[in-house]
Structure 1
Amino acid sequence: MFRYLLCCFGLVLMYPTGIDMYLVGLPQIANQLGATEAQLHIAFSVYLAGMATTMLFAGSLADRIGRKPITLFGALLFALASYFAARSQSSDLFLVARFVQGVGAGCCYVVAFAILRDVLDDKRRAKVLSMVNGVTCIIPVIAPVIGHLIMLRFPWPSLFYTMAVMGLLVFGLCLFVLRETYSKASFHSQTLPRVQTESFKQGFFISRVVITTLGVTTILSYVNVSPMLIMGQMGFDRGQYSNTMAMTALVSMLASFSTPFLLNQFKEKSLIMFSQTLFAAAALVFILTQLGWLGQLFNLLGFGLVCSGFAIGFGVTMSQALSPFVARAGVASSLLGIAQVCTSALYIWVMGQLEVSAINILFVILAVGALISITLILAVPKLSEMVANEQIPESA
């Protein structure tokens, strides 16, 4: 079991590392490639576009030819794209490399969740996904620090050479340690007949897609607007901003690693409801600070509530979303990833085009997301009830 957990941790971590590590090198990259920093910020969207476009075919292929080939392809592609990004001599080539990097990361991200669906039962999977989420939450803080330390001695291409090495390490890990969790023989003899019964239109899955998508949109909105809120509105300097982000990442990690213990005491539904209550409480804090009823420093409490709510609820809800699927777990994981990435990018872009203030971008998704999610949790039957009513496969 340890081999699967180790490989999945490596596969999942490639996605946030590819986003966060290179940011400290943007000024040097822009200078050397003859582009503005604003032009190169599109590399973030290009990377996510690469992930989104590959997720559906990666999940489908993983359900047909197995998990391991897709992990090997994704990790190797991520490594090669990182190498070519480091060797880029123009902004166009750099953006192409970033897109391909996203393709590699998307393959690894999708299959990691499918592997965990294959080897873990519902309760253990919820715990493991919470721990994976805890490690992922600390990457946005650790990766820029590592990038800064690298650039104290080496030029910006070294950031992407480092990512290339990471891709090769994950490739080696999957090649020599990971065992295939999805046999084609088993697929055709046992699970293929289930494909027709494992519908993506059933209400439980759709509700969990919506809840996880709103959660990811919330946390990415927080990350995106945090500089404007903390340094602009609250008047913190860069050092204080870094410390604040580090503390919220610590809160996320502690909440994530506490969730497996909470699952021993409370039902999954209770934890998901609690996470949405934390989101609603954060929205209340932000509106009170804007009205002047609370001081600006109370925004820090709101940030902590946002991070805690996401950390406690995301892994549990993702586990529930994958529960109904055996034969189509890869595609289910793909649909979750596509919904989360595309909705987040669309929401942030639309709010930016409408020139909505940073605090209101965060407040709207917190308030609306919590309201929709709580309604779905209460309205959609529990998984066990759906099994009893034969709405989903019993073995799910």
Structure 2
Amino acid sequence: MQTHHRASPPPRYQLLLLTLLVLFSPLGIDIYLPALPLISETFHVEHALAKYTITIFLFSMGLGQLFAGPLADRYGRRYVALGGIVLYGMSALLAWYAHNIEWMLTARLMQGFGACATSVAAFATVRDVFGPERSGRMISYLNGAICFIPALAPILGSYLTQTFSWRANFSFMVGYSVFSGALIWLIMRETNPATEAEKSQPTFQLERYWSVIKHPMFLFHASLCMLAMAVILSYVTSAPLVLMDRLGLSMNSFTLWFGINAALNIIGCMMAPKIMDKLGTHRTIVLGVILLGIAGGLMVLLSGQQSALRFMLPIFISSFGFAWVLGAAAGKALAPFGDKAGTAAALLGLLQMSGSGFIVIAVQSLNVTPYWHIAIQMWLLLPGLAILFSPVGKKWHQWVFES
């Protein structure tokens, strides 16, 4: 296999560029959350319809993974990243000019495709640059950076909305696109290790996807990532109902608890690489799954005592478990793939986003309380321990792949 011909920037610069790329997705959701009531008022629609601007963004992000991955393998990570940034920025501009909800929904659909391209390019580049063994550590750092956005973006969005208007949030997205795009254009180097013969193959073919999906190591670790993401999604969708509707917390109090958990999530993601260095990826995942199981038990035990702290304490514990499972498992899911890292990253992203959404909806259909809903999501990872402790599961974490 040929290596890339252009020298990559030193890892510290590369990590900065990758951080810029992965922030497009959470920024496209969290910054304008405080503006949703004003958007529904501007377009004279119900608040539920304004929330579809988030749903359709997530939908296109999930669907777009199937196209962005093979494109990144064929044409390179850098070109896909730049194309995604251009589409993201133009879509944000289109959303700024929107005069009705249909226009806004179209812009958000396009913006989701742009965000998915930057995310796929980032995680494929991680596998290219840092190799199969170190990629999990780098993914943990990137997840830590992603967690800053839910903590800070709503504050910035609230300021922009109150000082200017809800359209200012999309102005910020345009500015971020221009800034990040300029740095990516000037500094980022192509890292795609595929040979010319491999690049000459058809871009979209079922075998390319199937060769990734059928790999048991990918399937298992990607499933862990999906289930871990479902835990966070169930918390995000249940927290407003529990904290504000049932416990009567104000918006400021809710934001405070939300911010504390985001900060703990950041700490957990930053700790993950150190834990992987000390314990290895196998024990890191096992520890993360056990923490999630304990958090689920606490969630049920404390559900009868109505207070914000008793609801959030299991969430705090789960944030560390989530961070450690996601970082180590994502790296292992991508480890077997070099020239197909883009496709693998795309399928991993699809499972994390769309797959976790389906799981959350399925558990919600059981009509259980929010406490039990979150606990069940946490416990769904526990059967994975049987595979992790099996001979095959242990062997997966002993393999060293060609980078």
Q: TM-score, normalised by structure 2?
A: 0.90
Report whether the alignment pairs 1:231 with 2:241.
no
Q: Which of 344, 361, 375 is matched with 2:386 structurally?
A: 375
Superposition pairs of residues 114-263 of structure 1, within 5 angstroms: 114-182=124-192, 185=195, 188=198, 199-263=212-276
Report what 1:107 is aligned to.
117
Q: Distance in 1 between matches of 2:45 and 2:229?
A: 31
Report what 2:337 is aligned to.
325
Q: Distance in 2 between matches of 1:266 and 1:351?
A: 33
Contact 1:4 1:115 (C-alpha < 8 Å) held by counterparts: no
Q: Which of 371, 374, 381 is matched with 1:359 structurally?
A: 371
Q: Distance in 1 between matches of 2:346 and 2:163?
A: 39
Offset of residue 110 of structure 1: 1.0
Offset of residue 204 of structure 1: 1.2
Report whether the alignment pairs 1:270 with 2:283.
yes
Match of 2:374, as an amino acid? L
Offset of residue 312 of structure 1: 1.8
Contact 2:243 2:308 (C-alpha < 8 Å) held by counterparts: no
Note the alpha carbon deviations across 1:188-207, whole angstroms, 9 max, x for none: 49x99xx7996531211110
Report what 2:402 is aligned to.
395
Offset of residue 370 of structure 1: 2.3
Gapped runs of 5+ residues in structure 2?
1-10, 203-207
Q: Which of 72, 91, 95 is matched with 2:82 structurally?
A: 72
Match of 1:375, as an amino acid? A
Offset of residue 235 of structure 1: 3.5
| 300-309 or 69-78, which deviates more | 300-309
Match of 2:122, as an amino acid? A
Q: Which of 345, 349, 353 is matched with 1:337 structurally?
A: 349
Superposition pairs of residues 278-293 of structure 1, within 5 angstroms: 278-291=291-304
Offset of residue 327 of structure 1: 1.5
Q: Distance in 2 between matches of 1:196 and 1:289?
A: 44
Report whether the alignment pairs 1:301 with 2:301.
no
* CA RMSD between the two structures: 2.6
Q: Distance in 2 between matches of 1:210 and 1:142?
A: 29
Report what 2:38 is aligned to.
28
Contact 1:198 1:324 (C-alpha < 8 Å) held by counterparts: no
Gapped runs of 5+ residues in structure 1?
none
Q: Distance in 1 between matches of 2:365 and 2:68?
A: 32
Identity of aligned residues (%): 26
| 206-215 or 305-314, which deviates more | 305-314
- Secondary structure of the residue aligned to 1:235 is coil
Contact 2:96 2:171 (C-alpha < 8 Å) held by counterparts: yes
| 120-129 or 61-70, which deviates more | 120-129
| 204-213 or 178-187, which deviates more | 178-187
CA distance 1:170–1:227, change in 2 (3 Å): same
- Secondary structure of the residue aligned to 1:121 is helix
Contact 1:85 1:94 (C-alpha < 8 Å) held by counterparts: yes
Contact 1:117 1:329 (C-alpha < 8 Å) held by counterparts: yes
Q: Distance in 2 between matches of 1:24 and 1:290?
A: 29
Q: Distance in 1 between matches of 2:375 and 2:226?
A: 16
CA distance 1:357–1:380, change in 2 (3 Å): farther
Match of 1:302, as an amino acid? P
CA distance 1:198–1:153, change in 2 (3 Å): same
Match of 1:120, as an amino acid? F
Contact 2:282 2:394 (C-alpha < 8 Å) held by counterparts: no
Report whether the alignment pairs 1:346 with 2:358.
yes
Match of 2:327, as an amino acid? G
Report what 1:93 is aligned to.
103
- Deviant stretches of 4+, over 6 Å: none
Contact 2:286 2:388 (C-alpha < 8 Å) held by counterparts: yes
CA distance 1:152–1:111, change in 2 (3 Å): same
Report what 1:61 is aligned to.
71
Contact 1:40 1:91 (C-alpha < 8 Å) held by counterparts: yes
Note the alpha carbon deviations across 1:127-148, whole angstroms, 9 max, x for none: 2111111111121121100101
Paired residues, number: 389
